[in-house]
Amino acid sequence: MASVARSLTTCIFCKIVKGEIPSFKLVETDLSYSFLDIGPLSRGHALIIPKDHAAKLHELPNEYLADAMPIAKKIAAAQGLENYNILQNNGRIAHQEVDHVHFHVIPKPSASDDEGLVVGWPAKPADKEDLKALQQELASKLSKL
């Protein structure tokens, strides 16, 4: 059962869902709305948003999450994408500009940094003892959530 959808009068994505701001709509369900990004990283860059105002992923009821990913698959399939990124940012320093949960579908048509997502990946070797302690802490907390 879907929760009662919240919306914010000031949120641009809530306004897009309500049709108060125009958008290039792709697919709509009872729980989700998808449309082309107005500032695409590549041609076909799309956004999927829940029809519920939650700023960050952990604030969003699960049924909206379950509805969104099949739409991402459809948008990738409709474009015949083989290379693409699904991106979802939470918080300003994690590159979230619009405080309404959204999933990006970003085609990566070539290896060029000029189109599609460009990812920094500052991986470092992990300390095994630290990994073990962290795993124990998180596994314990996760079993209670």
* φ/ψ of residue 132, rounded to 5: -65, -45
Q: Which residue is nearest to Zn ion (CB)?
A: 11
- The residue from 82, 97, 113, 130 that contacts ligand 5GP (CB under 6 A) is 97
Q: How many CB atoms lie within 10 A of CB 53?
A: 21
Stretch that binds ligand 5GP, among 55-63, 77-85, 89-97, 112-120 (CB under 6 A): 89-97
Q: Scanning the structure block, which residue is given the tokens 């049924």?
A: 63
| Using rule CB under 5 A, residue 84 touches Zn ion | no
| Using rule CB under 5 A, residue 51 touches Zn ion | no
Q: Mark whether 104 is an active-site residue.
A: no
11: Cα separation from own chain's centroid: 16
Catalytic residue among 45, 53, 100, 102: 102
DSSP-derived secondary structure letter, 112 = -
Considering CB distances under 5 to 8 angstroms, the limit depending on partner class, which of ligand 5GP, Zn ion, none binds residue 53?
A: Zn ion
| Using rule CB under 6 A, residue 95 touches ligand 5GP | yes
Q: How many residues does the chain have?
A: 145
Q: Which residues pair with 28 in a beta bridge?
A: 33
Which one, of 66, 65, 57, lies nearest residue 94 by Cα?
Answer: 57
DSSP secondary structure, 11-23, as one string: -HHHHHHTTSS--
- The residue from 45, 51, 100, 104 that contacts Zn ion (CB under 5 A) is 100
Query: Which residues contribute to the site for ligand 5GP (CB under 6 A)?
Result: 12, 21, 23, 35-39, 47, 89, 95-98
Catalytic residues: 102
Question: Using CB under 5 A as the criterion, which residues of the chain lie in contact with Zn ion when the complex forms?
Answer: 8, 11, 13-14, 53, 100
